[in-house]
Structure 1
Amino acid sequence: MTGTAAPEPVLLGVRHHGPGSARAVRAALDRCRPTAVLIEGPPEADALVPLAAEQDMRPPVALLAHVAGEPGRAAFWPFAEFSPEWVALRWALAHGVPARFIDLPAAHTLALGAGGGAGRGPERDASPEGVGPRTDPLAVLAGAGGYDDPEAWWEDVVEHRRGEGDALAPFEVVAEAMGELRSALGEEEDLEHDAVREAHMRLKLREARREFGGAVAVVCGAWHVPALAERRTVAADRQALKGLPKAKVEIGWVPWTHRRLSRHSGYGAGITSPGWYGHLFRVPDRPVERWMTDVARLLRAEGHPVSSAHVIEAVRLAETLAAMRGRPLAGLAETVDAIRAVMCDGSDVPLALVRDRLVVGDVLGEVPDAAPASPLQRDLDRQRRALRLKPEAAARDCEFDLRKDTDAARSRLLHRLRLLGVDWGEPLPSRGGLGTFRESWRLCWEPELSVRIAEAGVWGTTVEGAATAKAESLARDATALAEITSLAERCLLAGLPDALPVVMRALADRAALDSDAGHLAQALPALVRSVRYGDVRRTDTAALAEVAAGLAERVFVGLPAACAGLDADAAAEMRAHVDGVHQAVALLAGTADEPSTVAPGLRDRWAAVLKVLAERDTLPGGIRGRATRLLLDDGRLPHERAARLMGLVLSAGTPPAEAAAWIEGFLGTGGSGGMLLVHDERLLALVDGWLTAVPPDAFTGVLPLLRRTFSAFEPGVRRTLGDHIRQGGRGPGPAQSLHATAPGFGPALDPRRAAAVLPTMRLLLGGETV
């Protein structure tokens, strides 16, 4: 009695992330009605297949597998809505058909060292990036068809198909072409890894045929189809898998983005235009017309004058270009050329917006709560939902008012994540200047952050607990004092009171051993900022304030000696430390109305140090000039004394380079120095007289310093200074007024004209008019 032979499997060779392949797979499955669907992917994910049918599962998503205990050794298998594997997965779930993954297990893949960001080749596989043939099979096929662009060939042959004819015919043609290619390229290709994977696929295919019977459908990279159709013995396939290393892995679903699908992001199986491919997959008819409408809507929203007439003309031009180029339908290249010519007036600037927002896109997938996740990920998801912080693929700037409980909690969460290496948000310079109650952030969610969260899970099961443990570890391992003071600041920002005792002990130990005034000066600002942040964040910083005051006293003692004997680069670095200490002292000492109780008299002691720095001739000119300016700004140095110090420095006995360094330190590199010269004619006359007296042979040497100083002034300040010099006299004499003949300037303040602006100023400042 002869048995009935089992039906041959239906091998559907696809291009990963191809809408044409996805439509063809759906049509083929509808026709052959398989008893099971086998999909190229890690078998460890079989238990996660039902989640693909959840309402909250929205592609693009990815399977993330990592070695247990080593989350950094990870691999991704992404799926978009137009991925053939995703379509097959959803078809199987919708029709009650078993779905299985049949690729080489991630346990072997990661143990072999191929992790670190899995990627699929354009037509091949779901193997980690870097594993694949040196020759692109698509390029070979495109060249045989007379195309020099594999993308254009694939669009014309596959992506623009609308399901005409036999649903299985395209797969038979692709399988035949790949068989010929493998025969031609096999000798020059390194197919060892492919052979191992294909042996495992054949074993899984045999198991499925025995288990489910009937016709079994296989959805895999087209490159593997000839190997799966090849007759091999079970013993040979098992021998190919013998001795493979194996690691314990964990796997789950994570959100993915269109940007990470794009080839320019570095993802191995990326496609240049995920947004365009998604459009082709979603739109059943008139894709070019609907695409042009979307482009026009985007450009109008950005303020570009685009009308319906532009849409009509752009569609006509795209179709005409396709006909001239011998293409069956207008593709992405034709639509881009038409958009540039018709809607963008030939400019690439608005076209870049179209490429970024539509051709690539900002789509971010979602994963249901039922998906397996680490305890740390669960805690993060709970907090972000409570705080209404939604992950987004596009960068978004936001501002938090720390006086509000919700915004303060958002700030703490983002700072804690940054401590853990999860940079969901990046702090931006606040538009409020030195105010402490407002924070600016730029938020952008990247798929790699899922790996960072998994890595951070070794520190704890909650965000707060993990951040606390990480901060304590950093404090114990820190070697530089500035590292610990910066860590103390980060703990205050993140709201980690339990970590502060450990950080404070490390800070006290390191500060006691470090006698370098430069290191102490570098560490002080961050510590004082921590004290300052405590007010708005309602944190007890008394202990920090005492440590900061003690640190400041040690800086005062050692700074003058530390400033001696420095070269130009070291002097510039020390000058920056002087600025930081000056600002830190101002914050630590409090205001005149509310002086600090921790450090009484701190301003006076610092002013004495600055006076020593300003008048000690042996110190670098940049440091002396900066100390003079700080004393002048604080009202602790009369203008006459400042003018005398400048006159001494700019005398004929001082080398021009040293004098130029003093001017740079005194004026700084911002607009405030220029305004000082605008309003103090004596100082301007001193600088002008010295500059005109510099010998020609020395002028070239001081020019870079002077240019660096004066070029940083605002254009209006430079223009005003030029007017003063041009219209006033030159020379250091205090009796000559540079304002005397300048239009708009009088010999003294006019109280009547000044009073006229007061009502407007009160309105601007929010006061009441009188």
Structure 2
Amino acid sequence: MTVTFIGVRHHSPACARLVAATIDALRPAYVLIEGPADLNERIGELLLGHELPVAVFSSYRDGERRHGSWAPFCAYSPEWVALTHGRAVGAELKFIDLPAWHPAFAGLSNRYADAELRYADVMQRLCGSFGVDNVDVLWDHLFEIAADDELAERLAVYFDLVRGESAAGESDTAREAYMAQWVRAAAAEAGERPVVVVTGGFHRPALVSAPAAAGDSAAAGWPEVPTLPPDAVGGSFLVPYSFRRLDAFDGYQSGMPSPGYYQELWESGPQAAARHLTESVAGRLRERKQPVSTADLIAARVTAEGLAAVRGHRHPARTDVLDGLASALVSEALDVPLPWAARGTLRTGSHPVVVEMVAALSGTRVGRLHPDTPAPPLVHHVNAELERLGLDGPDDLELDLTVAADRARSQVLHRVRVLAVPGFRRDSGPATGLDPVLKERWTLRPSPERLTTFIEAGAYGATLADACAAVLAERATRAGRDVDLLAGVLFDAALSGTADVSEQTLTAIETTVAAAADLGALGRMLAVVLTMWRHDRILGTAHSATLAVVIVAAVRRILWLAEGVQGRSAAADLGRIGALAACRDALRYGRPQLSLDLTAALEVAARLAADGDAPPDLRGAAFGLRWALQPPPPAGDPPESASAPLEFEGDAPESVGASLESAGAPLDSVSAAAAVREAESGLGRPDPMRAVRGAFHPESAGDWLAGLFALAREEVLHTPAVIGLLDELLSGMAADDFLVAVPGLRQAFEFFPPREREIIAGRLLERRGLGGTGRGLLRGVTDPELVAAGMLLDDRVDAVLRREGLTGGNA
């Protein structure tokens, strides 16, 4: 019995050559490959005759965890070569690793992530010893452009150094113990025939020592393949892959960067790969109208050959060619280091020529599955839906959401959009539940990556509606405390016809709202959700149970947050004002169906309106909330002025006194503390006249009024006495005070639309017994701040005249 272990670096042409040569020479009985053992019954699917690259996509989902991972293959992947050459010599093929959904792969999105990259200290020492920048350059230097002489021995030494004496983590230990069981079983089954084991080089030392330590335990037979837990859903399917997704410069964290270059290296050797790389870069740059002369290419080639000689390379390596091209084609100073000097994605600020060079190395190859390849149910359902609705080809659509047929097409397109399928782009349409947009424009363009995305989305459900609902549920769960994200989820649910969600998702939504800390974001979300709940029969969200839960939770949270806001800053915050306005609307229009507690809300508003430490805009909004929602008095009740408690809306005890004094109460008869208690009790009806007087301080009046007008605009408009009082107070302000108050006042009165501002202006004219119209008065005031500045100047001139005795009859 002979077991040959080959440790490989994934997606390495050198390792692929070694695997092919070993299998062809030994003609083993078994070829064991690092790969998901639950796919052993379906290895034939891999060998149908696909156009590479392809990948095995595996998914897993249960009540607590969702996991997706890929095991990609290209022509020069050692695992792929092991499959194809093993089949060619008649060997039995076995994947021997744990299934991709196993907890050992938690946090690992790619099965073929190079384990040595997790041991940075070892790699740093090796790179330092050889004077290279990173592990990719080191690998090329040692293996890809070196001679194949004694390649197996050199690889073994390299991986022994990488593994060293360090103990593997729990994940690697579990995987290696499982793979060792397969090795022992295959060795027992093979008898005197050879067995070849192809795994990541990091695992090779552990597997080499495992069989000898295990004695004759191989008699136990083939290991049991783990099965999915009863409450879990998952599976594995082949998907088309692309060189772009394989490229480390594009975020792929395994194997080799620049897959286009290594494909050429695999097919033609290092000398031809270097020449092809230069030609690809030159061609790509010329396509983009970048000047690349023959002299530039000659200089690049000479530089690359010189660098190769200095670095001890038989042929120019990938970085030799890239450094030569950069030297010849980039004349400016670089803001960031050359990307091949380190491992990872392209950094922001990379030179445009360098970006094109990296893209040329990546290649444009996209895989294609054989027509007989099984696909998840979602793929078949989506194809049927798109074909049924005429959405399966290129098109430019305009959909009218008031038309049932167009609305059905829109919902399917939005479900596809939620799954992030390329080639389906919405150019215009409703952006929130507040805008009255009833038409959508879509651009449909079939994309080579469409099938891949649908296969991967198959992990979420067997139908488009189920998959969309699962994605939205996941987004809702991940929203955390971000209410804006949650609002986007809810609106996408409405657009896609997924109005109601599971209990688990509903709990996640409630948790997000209950933990939200941004009053403005909560208010924006509540306004949108309430509108959809009240009106949206087109999207099917009217009286949705899901939205009802959100409304109740949002009202509760907004009132709780608002009462905790402190600070006497006079800066009006339109976000928090809008949040209370959304609460007002929810309490006004949703209270009968949603069982919202109006009494509790009014009590909160009363306390907030009386809180001298709260910002003025919030106090004004709280008073406006009370005024707008206070039930009308029963028939026969005395007038408000006789029954209402004293309202105080000040910043300090002085404002309490001002409020009492303005109400006609002697200051020595009622204490400020008693007024506070009375205001906070929420008893009685709000008195806007006293509240306005108490809040009218030059530095904060405009902000308090902004809150009042935002919440009780109609009440103010239909209470002439309040408008008269505002006229009286504004007219009595000194010029200095008016100049301080004008910016806030200007913002406050913007809550009235133009028509209502005309009404107010007309009433002011009537109050003064003047002719004209409100519109004419408004047109005569072009800049209130300029008028205020003029008034101030007049006051100063009058003061100087009085001081110099130049007034009256002394002239």
Q: Is TM (by shorter chain) over 0.5?
A: yes
Between 1:429-438 and 1:15-24, the stretch displaced more is: 429-438
Residues in 1 aligned to 2:109 and 2:451: alpha-carbon distance in whole angstroms: 11
Query: Which of 85, 95, 119 is 1:91 aligned to?
Result: 85
In the TM superposition, 1:50-61 aligns within 5 A as 50-56=44-50, 58-61=52-55
CA distance in 1 between counterparts of 2:287 and 2:226 reads 53
Q: 1:44 to 1:186 in 2, by over 3 A?
A: same
> Is 2:395 aligned against 1:402?
no
Confirm or deny that 1:335 pairs with 2:436.
Answer: no
Which residue is equivalent to 1:170?
151
Whether the aligned pair in 2 keeps the contact of 1:275 and 1:359 (CA below 8 Å) is yes
The structure-2 alpha-carbon separation of the partners of 1:525 and 1:141, relative to structure 1 and needing over 3 Å to count, comes to: closer
Checking the alignment, whether the CA contact within 8 Å between 2:61 and 2:67 is kept in structure 1 is yes
For residues 646 and 429 of structure 1, what CA distance do their matches in structure 2 show?
49
Report the alpha carbon displacement of residue 370 of structure 1 after superposing the two structures with TM: 4.5
TM alignment of 1:455-604, pairs within 5 A: 456-457=460-461, 461-465=462-466, 467=468, 489-496=491-498, 522-528=525-531, 571-576=573-578
Relative distance call for 1:105 and 1:543 in structure 2 (3 A) is closer
Indicate conservation of the 8 Å contact 1:102/1:205, yes or no. no
Q: Does 1:232 align with 2:215?
A: no
Change (3 A) 1:646 1:684: farther
State how 1:63-462 maps to structure 2 within 5 Å.
63-64=57-58, 66=60, 72-73=66-67, 75-93=69-87, 95=88, 97-106=90-99, 110-112=102-104, 114=106, 116-122=108-114, 136=122, 147=132, 149-161=134-146, 169-175=150-156, 178=159, 181=161, 185-186=164-165, 192-193=173-174, 196-197=177-178, 199-207=180-188, 209-210=190-191, 214-225=193-204, 228=207, 232=212, 235=215, 246-248=226-228, 251-255=235-239, 256=241, 258=243, 261-263=246-248, 269-284=254-269, 286-346=272-332, 348-354=350-356, 357-360=359-362, 365-368=367-370, 370-380=372-382, 382-383=384-385, 401-403=398-400, 412-413=411-412, 415-416=414-415, 422-424=419-421, 430=428, 435-438=437-440, 453=457, 456-457=460-461, 461-462=462-463
Which amino acid in 1 is paired with 2:355? L
Q: For 1:402, what is the secondary structure of its paired residue?
A: strand
Q: Partners in 2 of 1:142 and 1:473 — Cα distance?
A: 42
Distance 1:147 1:196 in 2: 35
What residue is the counterpart of 1:685 in the other structure? 786
User: C-alpha distance in 2, partners of 1:648/1:26?
Assistant: 96
> Is the alpha carbon distance of 1:251 and 1:680 closer, same or farther for their aligned partners in structure 2, counting shifts above 3 Å?
same
Partners of 1:83 and 1:50 in 2: CA distance: 18
Question: Structure 2: where are the runs of 5+ without partners?
Answer: 335-349, 510-518, 587-624, 629-687, 718-725, 752-777, 797-811
| 1:639-687 superposed Cα distances (whole Å, 9 cap, x missing partner) | xxx999999999522594x65555667799xxxxxxxx99984346248
* Contact 1:52–1:90 under 8 Å retained in 2: no
| Partner amino acid, structure 1, of 2:283 | R
TM-score by length of 1: 0.59
Aligned equivalents of 1:198, 1:252: Cα separation in 2 = 20
Per-residue CA deviation, residues 105-143 of structure 1 (Å, 9 max, x unaligned), is 328x8155756534445376xxxx97xx6764x666656
Structure 2 residue aligned with 1:621, among 684, 696, 702?
Answer: 702
Change (3 A) 1:309 1:372: same
Please state how far the C-alpha of 1:625 moved relative to its aligned partner: 5.7
1:416-462 C-alpha deviation (Å, 9 max, x unpaired) = 3676xx444798885999754345799997999789745533xxx31
CA contact (8 A) 2:426 2:442 kept: yes
**Do the aligned residues in 2 keep the contact of 1:11 with 1:171 (CA within 8 Å)?**
no
C-alpha RMSD over aligned residues: 6.5
SS in 2 for 1:106: coil
Q: Secondary structure at the match of 1:653?
A: helix
Secondary structure class of the residue paired with 1:86: helix
Write the distance in 2 (CA, Å) between the matches of 1:427 and 1:103: 42
Tell me by how many angstroms 1:317 deviates.
Answer: 2.7
1:276-309 Cα offsets, whole Å, 9 max, x none, are 4344335555222222222233333334333455
In the superposition, relative to structure 1, how do residues 243 and 226 fare at CA in structure 2: closer, same or farther (>3 Å)?
Answer: closer
Normalising by the residue count of structure 2, what TM-score does the alignment of the two structures yield? 0.56
Q: Which has the larger radius of gyration?
A: 2
- Say if 1:564 and 1:620, in contact at 8 Å, map to a contact too: no
Q: What residue is the counterpart of 1:48 in the other structure?
A: 42
1:652 correspondence with 2:736:
yes
State the partner residue of 2:33.
Answer: 39
Aligned amino acid, residue 523 of structure 1: L
CA–CA distance in structure 1, aligned partners of residues 417 and 54 of structure 2:
25
Secondary structure at the aligned position of 2:75 is classed as coil
CA distance in 2, matches of 1:423, 1:583: 35
User: Is the 1:199–1:238 contact (alpha carbons within 8 Å) kept by the matching residues of 2?
Assistant: no
- Quote the Cα distance in structure 2 between the aligned partners of 1:87 and 1:277: 15
How many residues align structurally?
A: 605
Task: Decide whether the 8 Å contact of 2:28 with 2:196 is kept in 1.
Answer: yes
Using the TM superposition, give the Cα deviation of residue 192 of structure 1 relative to its aligned residue in structure 2, in angstroms.
4.3
Change (3 A) 1:469 1:23: closer
- Residues 163-185 of structure 1, C-alpha deviation per residue, up to 9 Å, x if partnerless? x666xx31243235545x48x92
- Aligned-partner residue type, residue 496 of structure 2: A
Q: For residues 398-418 of structure 1, give each alpha carbon's deviation from its aligned partner in whole angstroms, at most 9, with x where no partner exists.
A: 986435999977753453367
Q: Structure 1 residues 441 and 356 mapped into 2: Cα distance closer, same or farther (>3 Å)?
A: farther
Cα distance per residue 1:207-262 (max 9 Å; x no partner): 4524xx64443322334445555561654656999999955375423434555545
SS at match of 1:621: helix
**Residues 1:299 and 1:475: Cα distance change in structure 2 (over 3 Å):** closer
Contact preservation (8 Å) 2:31, 2:198 = yes
Q: CA contact under 8 A between 2:399 and 2:407: conserved in structure 1? A: yes
Deviation at 1:487, TM superposition (A): 6.9
C-alpha contact (below 8 Å) 1:81/1:278 kept by paired residues: yes
The answer to whether the Cα contact below 8 Å between 1:21 and 1:84 also exists between their aligned partners in 2 is: yes
Kept in 2: contact 1:624–1:662 (CA 8 A):
yes
> Whole-Å Cα distance in 1 between the matches of residues 359 and 406 of structure 2?
29
- How far apart in 2 are the matches of 1:170 and 1:571? 70
Partner secondary structure for residue 81 of structure 2: helix
- How far has the Cα of 1:152 moved from its partner? 1.9
- CA contact 1:260–1:267 (8 Å) conserved in 2: yes
The amino acid that maps onto 1:209 is A
What is the SS of the residue equivalent to 1:103? strand
Name the SS of the counterpart of 1:186 in structure 2. coil
- SS of the residue 1:13 aligns to: strand
The residue type equivalent to 1:402 in the other structure is L
The aligned residue for residue 599 of structure 1 is: none
Change beyond 3 A, Cα 1:177–1:497:
closer
SS in 1 for 2:102: helix
The aligned counterpart of 1:712 is none
| Structure-2 residue corresponding to 1:754 | none
- Say which SS state the counterpart of residue 296 (structure 1) adopts: helix
Aligned 8 A contact 2:476 2:486 in 1: yes
Identical aligned residues as a percent = 22
Amino acid at match of 1:110: H
Native 8 Å contact 2:187 2:195 kept in 1: no
SS at match of 2:43: helix
- Contact 1:35/1:216 (8 A) holds in 2: yes
CA contact (8 A) 2:532 2:542 kept: no
